[in-house]
């Protein structure tokens, strides 16, 4: 399952047009920027999902605020966000949890790749963040009764995020993925007291993600 493809499919003609009007941008440039932001958010979520505590926090957020219902009317969601955010559409809060202090760095890279200004990117990011969480919530709910065994649905979610971020890396978003994964590689040795996902359960991945997982699970 590739989250990038599913996320891109959410930006149909009407949704893309509405978002482009909201940020004052050309639709083609908006689509290009959206792809970069989606890749960054998927990478950031994969980053968070590499520890049991991060995965548990993500699961709790999905259960509490993100059931996927916002995907039923994304044009309406974009309009509502301009008036005030509910927990499910609190894009700024979602960005803070996923990207932390890397938001501006991600925005700069997306701006350079898309040709949109930093101001436009900073408007676009909180619009797209709820779409990512909404999609994850919808997928998790639809598969809630299909998971069993050790790790259950939480580990399936981690596998999907890791595989999708790896796919995004191979699809030309390597620099953006690397930006949001730096904390994982640096933090793997700085927080040895936290139990990581056991190596036997680790999703198979190559390239950057093979190195990432090798670092995290080394010696386990």
pLDDT: which is higher, 12 or 124 = 124
Model-level pTM?
Answer: 0.78
Q: What does the DSSP 8-state code read for residue 194?
A: S
Show Cβ contacts of residue 50 under 8 Å, excluding neighbours closer than 6 positions: 158, 184, 196, 197, 212, 216
Domain-wise residue ranges, the chain: 3-217
Evaluate if residue 144 carries a pLDDT over 80: no
| Contact (Cβ atoms closer than 8 angstroms) between residue 88 and residue 65 | yes
Evaluate if residue 167 carries a pLDDT over 90: no
Q: What is the pLDDT of residues 62-72, one digit of tens each?
A: 989 998 999 99
d(CA 47, CA 45): 5
């Amino acid at each position: 399952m590739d989250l990038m493809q599913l996320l891109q499919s959410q930006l149909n003609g009407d949704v893309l047009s509405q978002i482009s009007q909201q940020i004052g941008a050309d639709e083609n440039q908006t689509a290009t920027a959206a792809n970069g932001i989606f890749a960054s958010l998927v990478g950031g979520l994969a980053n968070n999902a590499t520890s049991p505590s991060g995965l548990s926090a993500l699961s709790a957020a999905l259960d509490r605020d993100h059931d996927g219902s916002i995907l039923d009317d994304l044009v309406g969601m974009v309009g509502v966000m301009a008036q005030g955010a509910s927990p499910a559409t609190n894009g700024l809060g979602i960005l803070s949890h996923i990207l932390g202090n890397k938001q501006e760095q991600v925005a700069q890279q997306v701006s350079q790749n898309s040709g949109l200004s930093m101001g436009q990117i900073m408007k676009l990011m909180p619009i797209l963040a709820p779409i990512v969480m909404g999609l994850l919530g919808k997928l998790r709910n639809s598969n809630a009764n299909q998971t069993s065994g050790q790790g259950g649905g939480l580990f399936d979610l981690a596998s999907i995020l890791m595989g999708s971020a790896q796919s995004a890396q191979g699809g030309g978003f390597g620099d953006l993925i690397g930006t949001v994964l730096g904390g994982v590689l640096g933090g793997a040795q700085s927080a040895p007291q936290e139990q990581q996902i056991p190596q036997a359960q680790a999703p198979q991945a190559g390239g950057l993600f093979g190195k990432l997982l090798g670092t995290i699970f080394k010696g386990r």
